[in-house]
Every structure is written in C-alpha cells, then in structure tokens.
Structure 1
Amino acid sequence: MTKGTALLERLGGAVADIRGRFTPDAPMEAITWFRAGGPADLLFQPADEDDLAAFLKILPADVPVMVVGIGSNLLVREGGIRGVVIRLSAKGFGAVEILSETRLRAGTAVPDKRVAAAALDAGIGGFHFYHGIPGAIGGALRMNAGANGVETRERVVSVRAVDRSGTVHTLTNEEMGYAYRHSSAAKELIFVSAEFEGYREDPAVIRAAMDEVQNHRETVQPIREKTGGSTFKNPEGSSAWKEVDKAGCRGLMIGGAQMSPMHCNFMINTGSATGYDLEYLGETVRSRVLETSGIKLEWEIKRVGEFKPERTVQEFLGQFI
C-alpha cells in the first residue's frame, strides 16, 4: 500500500461529506513549472471555502499540510512531500469581483495576470505589475510579490484565510506583516481571497503600462522555458542577476538544470533536470557568489519536500557554514 492510499484509508468515513477531489500519490512534476519533483502523499482540491474548512476540521493534527498554487516558483525535491498538499481549485477560488470604482476582490487561485486584466476592464489602476508575474494571488499574498516598482502590499486591504483547525480569519494589511518578498502572517494560514484597492485610471494608460511589462518580460526573461521565475532575492544594494553574472554562473549547467544565458537569475529545466539537479545548481551558484562577492543570496523559489537518500543538497554545498 502506498503512503497516499494509507493516508486516505486512515481518514476513512470522515471524508464522506467532503466534496473536493483526492489524489493519492499525486505527481508534483505535473503541477510545477519546472516539471520535476517527487509525489505528494495526498493531493486535495477543495470544492470551495466551506469544503476546505470542513476538511481541515476532520484532518488529524499530526498530518502535515502544505498549500501550493499554480507551481510557478516551486521546486519539489525527489523524495516527494509527506502528508496532504492542498491546491485550491479555479472553480472554488478563482473569481474576481469588482466591488467599487477602485476596489476588487480576488480568490487566491486567480492568476496574477487575470487580476491585472480585470482591473484594466474596470478602469482601476495600480495592478499592471501583476501582468508580468507568473503566479497566482495566493502566492503573491504570501511572498509580497512585486515587479516594475510595485509590490502586493501596496494594494492589499484585507485577506481572508482558514487556519489548520478550519477557523476562518480576516487579516488587515498591517496584520500581514509585509516586508520585501515576505509576509509574517502565520504559516498555517491558507489564504482564500483578498480585497485590493487601486485608483481610477484611464484604461488606455493601464494598457500601455501592461504592454510595457509584457515587452520587458519577452525581451529579457526566458518565459517560454521550464522555469520558476527569479531564483534568488535581490541582496541589499545590488541585483541577484548581477552577482550571479559576476560569479561566472551565467549559462552554468548541472545535469539538465541551467542558469539561463538570457537572464542569469532564472534557473531552467532544459528537458531532463531532476529536483536534485535544480537545487544543486542553485546551491553551487550561492556558493560561488559568496566566494566572489561575500554575499549570501537568499532563495526566492520555494523548495519543499524530502531528499532521496544519498541525494541531499547542503546549503552553499556545506563549504561556508
């Protein structure tokens, strides 16, 4: 019996009233944009917020829970993910509502790009930057996603979330505890929707800003590759790509993983990369940047799951810590 089947059997009749979809031993490589990684013991896609809350209430406290979005900046290790992976469905969490001339509400399964499009249609400015972020609103809220000089925290009014016990909470912008590419909101909270505030703006002006974002991405980023977006956060006073380039890592390859020759802060799967290849490449780059510039680059890509035996990757390859 597989781990996923055993976990589903353990839950037994408790899931009889749960309306969402269960997938034991779900292949995470089918979800992540890197197209690599081991399986999740059990993937659960809730039908809606009530279904999510009901499931969390019956889930034993000792079962680990992880939430994933569209997998755009997720690196799953080869050993897979223990416990339950929750992926919010577009049907239950994918709506965008225009609340006023300047305010909208979006479910956390909504792609960032669709929020930008909805704001354009409504003549609400301030959301053009989402047009160039390859993720969903849930991830944008959790990591304070930003681009083109704008960050998520500048638009957030409040966030609706469900905790590990199935209780619903509403957090203010201040309670989200935003910093650069970070939110200090409790890790156990599963964001389900958020309200955002923009400002009135001529749709033609918004469209021009979105076109500029798109042109920039197509010109300097490998958007048609199997990539996770920006690999490392920008260090204070510099840019991650400059430090990677300075360390001689532009185009560097390990197995099927490569630092893009086009934008060297983008790591790509050239076709056969494993989770091990990708993470080993990232740590090799961090090691060389530390040796060259004395800077400890921080991962922006989220690395999750377990290593396979004898396939462990140490931070900075264990050389500097």
Structure 2
Amino acid sequence: MRAAVMTRRATLLIDRLPQVRGSYTAEAPMKDLTWFRVGGPAEVLFRPADLDDLMLFMAYRPMDAPVTFIGAGANLLVRDGGIPGIVIRLGKGFNHIEDDARGLRVGAGCSNVSVALRARDRGLKGYEFLRGVPGTIGGALRMNAGAYGQEMKDIVLAARWVRGDGLLQWSSVEELGYGYRHCSLPEDRIFVEAMLRAEPGDREAIRRRMDEISAERTTTQPVKTSTGGSTFANPPAHKAWELIDRAGCRGLVIGDAQVSEQHCNFLINRGAATAADLETLGETVRERVKAATGIELRWEIRRIGVAGGARS
C-alpha cells in the first residue's frame, strides 16, 4: 500500500514538471546508483539530455519541489527513506573532454579517471591524483576532491554552473572559495563544466606516477567491495584512519556494515547493510574517536535523504 502511494505521488510530481528531452523516472532506486548499494528511492530521477535541457528544467521546474544533484554516487550515502523531490544525475550529454590551449575543457559528467588518462596522453602533469579519485568531475568540483598531495583547486582555472533559476555562469577558481574538501559555491548551483590548467610534463613520468597511484589504491583500499570512499576528512595535523585505529574501531561491525580491516577510514557494506547501519557505524566511530583522542571527525561522505520510511 505504502509503495503504491509513493509511486502515485511521484507520478503526480512528474505531471508538474516541464517537458524535457531527457528522462524522468518515478521512484528510482538509488541503491542502484550509489557505490554503497543502499538507500531508498528518489521520488523522481531526472537525467537531462544536455546542458540546454538542464537549463530549461531549472528555469521552469515547480519551485516547491526540492532538487538534489548527485554525481557517480561514489562519496554518497542515501538514507533508507529515500530522497523527496527531484534528483538530477548528469549523463552522456556532459561527458565531453576537449583539448584547449589552456589545458582541458571537461564536462561534469566525465569520470575523474578518464580525465586523468586524457591528460596523461597529452603529456599534462598535475592530474595524476585524479587516477585515484573515484567519481566524476562534477562531484570533485563540489567537494574540492583530493588525494596523494593534490586537490582540484590545483588544476581548476574556472568552473561553469547552472543556477537555481536556470541561468548559466562561470566562476574563477578564486571565486569558488576552495578549502580542504570544501567549496563555497551554494549547494543549489549545479556544476556542468570545468576549464582545467595545462602544465606540460614528461609522458613517461606521468604514466609511471598514475600506475603507482592505481596500484597503491588497489593494495591499500577496499576497492572491490561496496564502499563510499574515504568516510571522514583528515583533521588538521592528523590522519583520520590513524585516529580510528587508535580508538579501536578497525573491523567494527554494526548490522552488516563494517569498518574496513584493510583501511579503517572506509566503511563497507558486507552485502545486506542498510543506510542506517552505515550511518550508525560512522557516528559510533566518531563518538569513540572523540572519547579516545578528543578530536571530532567530520564526515567527508555526503549523506542525503530521510531516515527509514519517514519520507513525507
């Protein structure tokens, strides 16, 4: 009965949305779109055909319906009650990678790995870290993603985004207000493209470094399990995994969620975990680290949606 009511509500919401060339899906299962493989459905999932389609949607959407943007679902935990309103996920219409005299012009839907490999083939250095960052450029722009001593602000010249009213705008890297795993651009702005800087380098050295990063990630992180990437941001002068280990949380289990034995800043779904299991486990880790070290860990994984069956 509840499922039928939810589907009916999603259908009514679709009836209020503007006509687009992309697709709308009612009650789209988010567990199929996130690396954790958990979470309730999106009331409506919108996949825009291209930039014009996205701009049209944003300009004419009903303003009382919330809009949530997601990337590849790598650093994302969707709660079990699902996501009210419209979830936007960029696809093929945002996957371009173009050579430019200044570097690379890339769509927000491009995978970070594909951009790294294009830079390698062009002999552009500074992109090596992207070989070890899961997800898409849009997500990387939003959180100033980083690894192996580099982060997005080191290679971004400017980013293009769509406002909540459908207007399009560029911002320089300075205007994006980047900090550690932080971007100052308001959450209702949707990244669609970035201009990334060019710095010529030695192709063979770039290739070797990317191969090293790929190999290190495979041997030190639980990449073959259902995980969401690094769970907590590193506090100043500390590494999150060391604090978690010191608090005795390596291997800790709640429900079917576990702190990875391989790298304890990763939570994993052992197969039947719920989003509640994973979030409770993460909060338990935070509490134990605070008690053991006095340091409060900050979630790096983005948590969205409503708990349990509470969506209304």
TM bucket by the smaller chain? over 0.9
Cα distance, 1:212 vs. partner?
1.1
The question of 1:122 aligning with 2:125 is answered: no
Partner Cα separation in structure 1 for residue 276 and residue 303 of structure 2: 11
Q: Please name the residue that 2:29 is paired with.
A: 27
Matching of residue 60 in structure 1 with residue 62 in structure 2 = yes
Partner SS for 2:233? coil
For 2:16 and 2:279, how far apart are their aligned partners in 1?
A: 39
Distance 1:7 1:241 in 2: 41
CA displacement at 1:58 relative to structure 2: 1.4
Cα distance change on mapping 1:14 and 1:272 into 2, 3 Å: closer
- 2:173 paired residue number: 173
Equivalent residue number for residue 113 of structure 2: 113
Cα 1:2–1:42 change in 2 (3 A) is: farther
Counterpart mapping for 1:150-189 below 5 A = 150-189=150-189
Residues 202 and 13 (structure 1), Cα distance of their counterparts in 2 relative to 1, 3 Å cut: same
Tell me which amino acid in the other structure corresponds to 1:214.
S
- Alpha-carbon separation, structure 2, partners of 1:272 and 1:195: 41
Instruction: Summarize the Cα distance change of 1:239–1:60 in structure 2 as closer, same or farther, 3 Å threshold.
Output: same
Rounded Cα–Cα distance in structure 1 between residues aligned with 2:186 and 2:13? 27
Q: CA deviation at 1:235?
A: 0.7
1:176-255 mapped onto 2 (5 Å cutoff) = 176-255=176-255
Distance 1:175 1:218 in 2: 35
Q: Kindly tell me the number of residue pairs found equivalent between the two proteins.
A: 308
Could you say if the C-alpha distance between residues 8 and 57 of structure 1 is closer, same or farther in structure 2, counting changes exceeding 3 Å? farther
Per the alignment, residue 313 of structure 1 pairs with none
Contact 1:38 1:78 in 2 (8 A): yes
Match of 1:317 in 2: none
Aligned partners of 1:69 and 1:258: how far apart in 2? 24
RMSD over aligned Cα atoms? 1.5
Aligned to 2:44: 42
Q: Distance in 1 between matches of 2:8 and 2:44?
A: 8
User: Against the structure 1 CA distance between its residues 172 and 273, is the aligned structure 2 distance closer, same or farther, given a 3 Å change threshold?
Assistant: same
CA separation of 1:58/1:8 partners in 2, compared to 1, >3 Å: closer, same or farther?
Answer: farther
Asked whether the 8 Å contact 1:144–1:181 carries over to 2, the reply is yes
- Structure 1: tracts of 5 or more residues without a match: 311-321
Amino acid in structure 1 at the alignment position of 2:242: K
SS of 2:251's partner is: coil
Counterpart residue number, 2:72: 70
Specify whether residues 120 and 5 from structure 1 end up closer, same or farther in structure 2 by C-alpha distance, changes over 3 A only: farther
TM-score if structure 2 supplies the norm length?
0.96
Please name the residue that 1:51 is paired with: 53
Query: How far apart in 1 are the matches of 2:251 and 2:281?
Result: 11
Identity of aligned residues (%): 48
